[in-house]
Amino acid sequence: MTQGLELRNITASYRETIALDDFNLTAACGEIHAIIGERRAGKSSIVSLLEGNMRLVKGKIILDGNPLTKLNPKTIAQAGIGVFHQAQKIIPTLLPWENIMAGRMPIGFNSRHMRPEIEESILELCNKWDLHPDLRLPLHRLTKIESTVIELGRALAFNPKILVLDEPSGRFTADEMQVLYSVLAERRNKNEAVLYAASNVDEVLRIADVLSIIKAGKIVETQPARSLDREDLVDLAYSFKESREELFSKNLRLLKYKKYNEEIASNLPLGTVFFDGEGKIYLSNQSAYDIVCTNPGTLPPQAKDDKAPEAARTMHPLTLEALQDGFGDTKLAHVMEAIQSGKPSKGKQWPTARGRFVDIMTYPFHDSLNQLFGTVLVLQDVTEERVTRDYLAKVERTSTIAQLATGIVHEVNNPLGIISNYVELLLMKTKDGYARERLEIIRNEIKRIHGSMLNLLSFSSVDSSTLNPHDIRLVIKESLILLEYEAERLGITLSADIPPGPVMIRMDPARIKQVLINLLMNALDAAGKSGSIVVKLRKQGNNSALLQVRDSGAGIPPERIGSLFTPFRSEKGGNGHAGLGLSICKHITEVHGGRIWCESEPGSTVFSIELPCEGPRQGKSQ
């Protein structure tokens, strides 16, 4: 038995699709075994199988002579197979050493004592790229190359018997790849096996000892790398079925090279569009189509799941019309102007019609006479980066307000308490009616200031860890009872439309009641005499509850809707309103994992709160 990895008579499927059929492969210790083939040939399916993310229908995976029985990511890693993916596979909020350990140890195992050793190995690996990351920071705070090398460190952790790499050139620059090659050579010299899946002929000839060519989920040929030259390998790996005329034409080899070049473009991790010298698109990859033509998070499962076999994915060409729809006439005109100028250009965070943010770069290339031969348009989706940065900024603002609120309350409450005591003392001693009237006004104003201080403190007093399941219907009923008399006094009809059964929410009932009463008080101010207020509660199909407060007031002008939840901006006239109520409602709602928004038109204003439900997902809205 050959020591190393052996895949024997493997048939594996992804859902209902057979991805590998009667597949055989051997990767011996002390060699770098490269797998090359065209797109959807089955390269990534092999990686998914070796990570435990694909169903093994029949056959055996044998490592150092021992068949692997339980096939899941945890047991595969423990058996000694390390995998480095084509797409990023990290948890950005964890520290580097936590990413290395994630999913590797039994539940409850405390791995903190291993941290120094793990961090030492991370720094040793990073040093090969002349990197010096701050390991006290989570991965999303590190540079792209630092997080990529740390992800490689996860694959190399605990000295795996075989290292599996899936299209690594998509993760590194050309210079960084040279360092990776030296790391792989070290693994080979230590008599370890390396399985290297790639599409680039030059790449595998540079590093591999053995080459296997894969087509339609089967290995069709395996040869020593030294026995093949570039043209032979292209001919073997990228042969394909065409019409009889093309198969017998003298340009067959040229067609194969064209397919090979298209294959490289399709595997690039960034969106790539190739324009000819006349500014017409002649080639684009799937990444470009996804960036321009799909909404974030709405890709079909087979397109956004990088574990899906190549056969389950669909390619879509990108057109000028799609670029125009995605970026608009003005920005497309900028792109075409840059292409025609023959000069490089860059655009940062261009918004698309589908809600993405994209960095755009154009790179012209010229022929031997310095004539414009074509242009490469590169699209990089930075939506996640933009959303993350906006979220962190929002968290920082909220934290700043909370700290400010705590400080203000502390500094104001102390002298306020002293003043209040003296006012009460004077009220007890004075018999002058004029003086008592003025002192009563002072006491009432002190109470108002104290109320504002309590509102400020609400920014920092909600602890999400103490939330427990409660029936939100009880909170609604209690809130309505509290305001029933005030509504009757104002001649306003106050009613509720709530489901008959419990609607369980993980919450702090007092805080949700604070939000609801605030919205109801605003509605009482807006509804006016003989007006109406309706509180409505519904379960939704996405396992959430929708709570709405609707009033029959004059409505809110559209230009004011956007600033309703901004602190210290009040839409109410007169004194006594600090403009904190709705911002506090927003803060409390978000701590509960929900969201709040307002819709208004003349004669009707609705404040809506969506909160996640406890328990099983609801089938439809109730």
Q: What ranges do the domains of the chain cover?
A: 4-80+160-237, 270-381, 390-461, 463-622
Give the mean pLDDT of 301-308: 44
CA distance 67 to 274: 47
> pLDDT band for position 397 (50/70/90)?
low
At 182 the pLDDT is: 93
> pLDDT band for position 552 (50/70/90)?
very high
Burial of 170 (0-12, 13-18, 19+ CB in 10 A): middle
Output the CA torsion 534→539→545→551 (10° steps). -10
> pLDDT band for position 455 (50/70/90)?
low
CB 301 within 8 A of CB 312: no
In the predicted model, is pLDDT for residue 441 greater than 90?
no
> pLDDT band for position 579 (50/70/90)?
low
At 122 the pLDDT is: 92
Give the mean pLDDT of 595-607: 92
Span of 61-75, 187-201, 532-546 with lowest mean pLDDT: 61-75
> pLDDT band for position 109 (50/70/90)?
low
- What is the three-class DSSP state of 399? helix
Output Rg (C-alpha) for the chain, integer angstroms.
32
At 306 the pLDDT is: 46
CB 94 within 8 A of CB 139: yes
At 610 the pLDDT is: 94
What are the pLDDT digits (tens) for 49-93?
888 888 888 899 998 888 888 788 788 888 889 999 888 888 888
In the predicted model, is pLDDT for residue 495 greater than 80?
yes
In the predicted model, is pLDDT for residue 308 greater than 50?
no
In the predicted model, is pLDDT for residue 353 greater than 90?
no
Of residues 201 and 544, the one with the higher pLDDT is 544
In the predicted model, is pLDDT for residue 407 greater than 80?
no
| Topology match between the domains 4-80+160-237 and 463-622 | no
At 302 the pLDDT is: 42
> pLDDT band for position 547 (50/70/90)?
very high
Beta strand 493-497 pairing with 532-540 = parallel
| Whole-Å CA distances, 611 to 540, 581, 594, 595, 614 | 10, 19, 4, 7, 10
| Whole-Å CA distances, 418 to 408, 425, 440, 449, 457 | 16, 11, 16, 14, 20
Most confident of 94-98, 276-280, 395-399: 94-98
In the predicted model, is pLDDT for residue 261 greater than 70?
no
Sheet holding 345-351, edge to edge: 281-284, 271-276, 372-381, 357-366, 345-351
Q: Token match 């031969």: residue?
A: 373
At 80 the pLDDT is: 87
At 515 the pLDDT is: 87
- What is the three-class DSSP state of 386? helix
- What is the three-class DSSP state of 127? helix
In the predicted model, is pLDDT for residue 567 greater than 50?
yes
The CATH architecture to which 463-622 belongs is 2-Layer Sandwich (3.30)
In the predicted model, is pLDDT for residue 113 greater than 90?
no
What are the pLDDT digits (tens) for 115-174?
899 999 999 999 999 999 999 998 888 999 999 999 999 999 888 889 999 989 888 888
At 255 the pLDDT is: 60
Question: What global pTM score does this model have?
Answer: 0.46
Of residues 571 and 115, the one with the higher pLDDT is 115
- Residue 113 is classified by DSSP as G
In the predicted model, is pLDDT for residue 43 greater than 80?
yes
At 163 the pLDDT is: 93
Q: Token match 């004029």: residue?
A: 434
At 33 the pLDDT is: 93
Of residues 224 and 577, the one with the higher pLDDT is 224
> pLDDT band for position 534 (50/70/90)?
very high
Q: Token match 């770069």: residue?
A: 361
Residues 6+ apart with CB under 8 A from 571: 556, 560, 564
In the predicted model, is pLDDT for residue 365 greater than 50?
yes
At 241 the pLDDT is: 47
The CATH architecture to which 4-80+160-237 belongs is 3-Layer(aba) Sandwich (3.40)
- The Cβ of residue 55 has, within 10 Å, a number of other Cβ atoms equal to 12
CATH, domain range 270-381: 3.30.450.20
Burial of 588 (0-12, 13-18, 19+ CB in 10 A): buried
What are the pLDDT digits (tens) for 316-342?
778 888 888 888 888 888 888 888 888
Give the mean pLDDT of 189-218: 87
- Terminal Cα distance for the chain, rounded: 63
Span of 24-33, 366-375, 491-500 with lowest mean pLDDT: 366-375
For the chain, the average pLDDT equals 81
Give the mean pLDDT of 472-484: 89
- The Cβ of residue 527 has, within 10 Å, a number of other Cβ atoms equal to 23
At 451 the pLDDT is: 66
